[in-house]
Structure 1
């Protein structure tokens, strides 16, 4: 245990005081958690028990001390340094004045929720080789708390059970079935009775992705209780159960065994204790190109589906496929919210999701019956849904097999993992919405140089944002629609982010507010309260508060920190607080350099928890970012063909973590001479594996590495020349001649 301000004789006194402070946490009655009701009420409104606060995963709090009448007084209370610069996506738990949350790699932090003082910190000592596996940074979306235990999954796929009072590890279990495949764990752990349920990620990775599954472990012992696979095994492998036998009929029996199938459950779980059903959503097929793996129906079960399992056995109860034949990366892994809604005069127990494919789904959570679905954002991938079953009719506008197509929503989704919130008072769902598209390209048929560059990357979706240049991309991918053509199809900006209030009964927008981020999924999740408030952090550093009923913007606080996670609210000694984790990363850092309008571009990417209360002060902003100048690069003797090959290999294998510009990973154009000298040993030999940069010798040849290095050096020279020319222009001197 880490002690602060406790030395010498005071050590025992401090320990005793800490033990008394944690006593409620250690002995918290399980009956309180079991008493979650369908309407989301709990007997302890001051607490936040699960990542969504209640059993319904509503992200709603009945606290109202901070309300629409006084929220203008909201200010800074305290901050806690998370000690990292990687992405932060977790919503903290708060139990009787103690905040518990997770961060990058699967670290866990216990903090005094009224002061920000650290109580303990847990390092999972995750295998650094796992750093290569997540598609979208070393993030973690939250912990679970049950009977004095904290549960977290580290990025390498180990499930850890910790003593809530001390942070001591009680047991750990390896949840990964094959470490030779690119599995990782980035999602929150969920509690289902006396079981801890966890999925995994890797459906977007090379080597044909991974085979998705969900595992349940006994909280007391760590013993595996059951495991449910979401897609069939390799052709010829006997099915594990009836569900896999059914799924196998929707996949091509002659597909290559290199393709693992995908369908991972990396987020979006829920549990109904009355029905004893575990719910979760599944990801895209692996690979994206279903021509390589799908059977005659083209459905590829159970990818892009909402699935219900019997918690006692792990057997399939029902499934609903939101995007049959998904080849646009339309995961169904968004948060799931349980509620009882009055529909056509009848109260029904439903499960709701703002799906990545742009439709808001309402299903009967007992049976999986389709009730309704309507688009909550602009959609062109389908011409409509069957009114009885909800099955979509794919449109010609989304048929990228026939040529590049601008598809709405983008692969980031109309709504991604960022939590939405259901407020039972207003009856509205508050959705962080992304109104953006992807230009999808078939790399097998592309007229450019990039052709099916590995066994998985057979398709590519490109954001047509401000950096999109069809002419510059043509040599790589062939002719693409230009921005003018794309803009002509819409009367709004090509990339927008909005907070939308959605009526799940009428299936319509009630109000909306466009944020000032507009950066394709950089904004954070939503949280609402009985104080008629909706809270959201944004990618540009703003922490925003809206009136829940009208959408009026009531308060904006500039934090100087990029915010992706959903906020939490709680009370300690009668004082209500609102807190949020901050830190740039996640999907954002893999799609390009940090945008100029982002707080993470102006300030250092200081990952922290920021807490607010009424009559608080100004939020201290991080130190200003200071970008190091470009050094003179080494000579580049590579041929243009080598550089082009290096660019293709960089796009295929490096670009999901490294952008050649400001980012949380190093700007490779600014490598030191020492790093240039070690470049081959880093990529092939794993010289920096302890720092999270694992070797790529199983994927890249020595020639590939040489070409990637040549491409980076070429880009370094471009940046260096531009820098020197700019310096000369400002001084009025003639730009110095540079020789490569």
Structure 2
């Protein structure tokens, strides 16, 4: 098959796609009607999700700086009343803080005191929690001319009056509600549109296709839509770019799946070129080859730029052709002016999930640099002439398990990185972890499908990695000692904050932030005070010297921090704020016991700091319910084993057994829940609480097997608990 070009030059793209794709005159910052929409750097206000249109997560404020940051302390907090994942960065405009929480709830607070001004509930049906791959999170709101915009979990856009908290208009962005679409990303605003993508490529059997869509900022009227993968074979192309994409799929597209490519985060808008730059997600399912050849499968795992006025493509670059490793390219982008070959150039930068740091020309999409910012073994590099990665044999896990770096979690994921124009460094919350990838259909285990992974799975070789315990379900896996030989002396799962120089393409300084298990550490803020801020999974907020990386201050909050901080100034006082709460993709894992946040309730809070502040009040102590006596139920070992398989396949994406997690521990159920177990799973008895009905996925026999397995787990936990109590007495 002829290889597809990796970046379509601007003029060639316009010629190929027709006159309607010709760009209008590039917009200058002064042409944009709202000055906040083109703020070059955040100052007293933080008007955009990333602080500015360049998405730098950098502030020009310097009242808090390297000389006095050690005096930073608690100013105020707001308890959001929920206990799920928090991934949004608040905005501050005219002394008011606007932010979003789970489901797309929106909060307006007095930015000086934390007083709640109003709260907006998008009224999402609880069944939508089933469609959320990675918790019911939301990554932020947008603001323009007295209106706050948010995308709720069910894919609706809401335009909310910033003074009253009342909806001005609501638009449904989902093309088919029978498919598992959800929206978790932050909306972006162009000069006249609201734009959003969606999530869901890892849910079900790959039965949805990604897209972004634009809606009139004043009325909510639909304007245009760009699909990221072609329709089923034989169906008409919605726009001409899809004909180009279809040629790259080979026989991989058989019409039974719609192949993913969702745009679940990372939308960016550049008002200078009036174009939207966004990344696309993984293809689904992961292992698709029908002829033994890895095809490119456009536009999955790609960076795309489209004309903001009509949605027509300006250029594209595919980061991971033929993606089989869950290497989404939706990580947030940063626009910057950098010297390239001695000349200043306007570029777009991304620390991609696949482990490479990409620098592309913002106007044309030309690849300028691609260098590993974390340990990578799936490819030995990127050919700058063709743009293609040089894939290694280690990446092929179709026949036997392989420990592939980076893991499905990526070398960097949604957690924002920050670029400081003052230091010239990019601060990346990197994930230095591999995963044992396997083809479940070929590895001899009892499981052949796993919700969220299809017929593949990626298992972290962390401190809890136990091949013997996993063998029945997943088949034989490599011993940890064998995996360690590739990286002697280094923990196989860890997270690292890295200061990366995008010009000389090297790490300037770094700090290991968690080891042994994923800590789900947070995004990054940098400031003109020569400071870098990052929260960690153990509940601490760290402040570093931006140039040297020297730690300046650590504040223990007692709350898990995944989101990126921001800073603002009200009434002459500079504040630093961050949202706290464990969840997101961490919903699949227990809260790390080593974390200081483990001891406390997973309270979703907005935490705000100022110079001269005090200690942060910790949330209430966590209360882990005891194991209750299990109901009398006799089940055969075969039924229990089948229940384990069905639980792992359908339930483990959200529920953790035996340890505190985000969702209920189903091995500690009270008698009344046991009594209604079938009605919960098959009839949606708890749908208003987010537990949707699963009768279209599992049978009554499946549910009885799952229940038998959970009762057996409760029996084991209860016996161990009682034995420990006896021993303590």
Deviation at 1:297, TM superposition (A): 5.8
- SS of aligned partner of 2:209: coil
Pairs within 5 Å for 1:28-427: 30-36=33-39, 40-41=40-41, 45-253=43-251, 255-291=253-289, 298-427=295-424
The question of 1:528 aligning with 2:531 is answered no
Match of 1:609 among 606, 609, 614: 606
d(CA) in 2 for partners of 1:684, 1:572: 52
Report the RMSD for the aligned CA atoms in angstroms. Answer: 1.5
Q: Is the 8 A contact 2:519 2:592 kept in 1?
A: no
- SS of aligned partner of 2:150: strand
Q: What do the CA deviations read for 1:302-327 (whole angstroms, capped 9, x no partner)?
A: 01111100001001111100011111
Q: Is the 8 A contact 2:77 2:606 kept in 1?
A: yes
Q: Is the 8 A contact 2:451 2:653 kept in 1?
A: no
- SS of aligned partner of 2:603: coil
Deviation at 1:475, TM superposition (A): 1.4
d(CA) in 2 for partners of 1:502, 1:453: 36
Partner of 1:702: 700
d(CA) in 1 for partners of 2:596, 2:177: 37
Q: Is the 8 A contact 1:30 1:146 kept in 2?
A: no
Partner of 2:666: 668
Deviation at 1:34, TM superposition (A): 4.3
Q: Is the 8 A contact 1:271 1:277 kept in 2?
A: yes
Match of 1:478 among 458, 475, 479: 475
Partner of 2:550: 552
Q: Is the 8 A contact 2:274 2:307 kept in 1?
A: yes
Partner of 2:581: 583
- SS of aligned partner of 1:500: strand
d(CA) in 2 for partners of 1:406, 1:85: 34
d(CA) in 2 for partners of 1:69, 1:454: 50
- SS of aligned partner of 1:245: helix
Deviation at 1:677, TM superposition (A): 1.1
Q: Is the 8 A contact 2:38 2:53 kept in 1?
A: no
Deviation at 1:272, TM superposition (A): 1.1
Q: Is the 8 A contact 2:447 2:649 kept in 1?
A: no
d(CA) in 2 for partners of 1:607, 1:456: 29
Deviation at 1:635, TM superposition (A): 2.4
Match of 2:432 among 429, 432, 435: 435
TM-score normalised by the chain length of structure 2:
0.94
d(CA) in 2 for partners of 1:238, 1:506: 46
Which shows bigger deviation, 196-205 or 230-239?
230-239
Deviation at 1:249, TM superposition (A): 1.2
d(CA) in 2 for partners of 1:210, 1:418: 25
Match of 2:717 among 697, 700, 719: 719
Structure 1 stretches of 4+ with a deviation exceeding 3 A read 252-256, 294-297, 452-456, 516-519
- SS of aligned partner of 2:34: helix
Deviation at 1:257, TM superposition (A): 2.4
Deviation at 1:520, TM superposition (A): 2.2
Structure-2 change in CA distance of 1:214 and 1:295 (3 Å): farther
TM-score normalised by the chain length of structure 1:
0.92
Q: What do the CA deviations read for 1:135-192 (whole angstroms, capped 9, x no partner)?
A: 1001000000011110000001100000011111000000101111100000000011
Q: Is the 8 A contact 2:151 2:185 kept in 1?
A: yes
Q: What do the CA deviations read for 1:674-728 (whole angstroms, capped 9, x no partner)?
A: 1111111111111111111000001101111111111111111111111111112
d(CA) in 2 for partners of 1:517, 1:625: 23
- SS of aligned partner of 1:511: strand
Deviation at 1:198, TM superposition (A): 0.2
d(CA) in 2 for partners of 1:673, 1:139: 31
| Structure 2: gaps of 5 or more residues | 1-31
Deviation at 1:443, TM superposition (A): 1.1
Q: What do the CA deviations read for 1:13-55 (whole angstroms, capped 9, x no partner)?
A: xxxxxxxxxxxxxxxx95322443xxx336xx20001110101
Deviation at 1:258, TM superposition (A): 2.8
- SS of aligned partner of 1:440: strand
Q: What do the CA deviations read for 1:376-401 (whole angstroms, capped 9, x no partner)?
A: 00000112211323311211112101
Deviation at 1:487, TM superposition (A): 1.7
d(CA) in 2 for partners of 1:516, 1:247: 40
Partner of 2:443: 446
Deviation at 1:129, TM superposition (A): 1.5
Partner of 2:22: none
d(CA) in 1 for partners of 2:598, 2:703: 30
Partner of 2:652: 655
Structure-2 change in CA distance of 1:295 and 1:142 (3 Å): farther
Q: What do the CA deviations read for 1:438-489 (whole angstroms, capped 9, x no partner)?
A: 1001011011111246897210111111111011111112211111111222
Deviation at 1:290, TM superposition (A): 2.3
| Structure 1: gaps of 5 or more residues | 1-28, 732-740
- SS of aligned partner of 2:306: strand
Deviation at 1:517, TM superposition (A): 6.0
Q: Is the 8 A contact 1:247 1:300 kept in 2?
A: yes
Q: Is the 8 A contact 2:463 2:516 kept in 1?
A: no
- SS of aligned partner of 1:353: strand
d(CA) in 2 for partners of 1:256, 1:720: 49
d(CA) in 1 for partners of 2:298, 2:602: 40
Q: Is the 8 A contact 2:600 2:619 kept in 1?
A: yes
Deviation at 1:116, TM superposition (A): 0.5
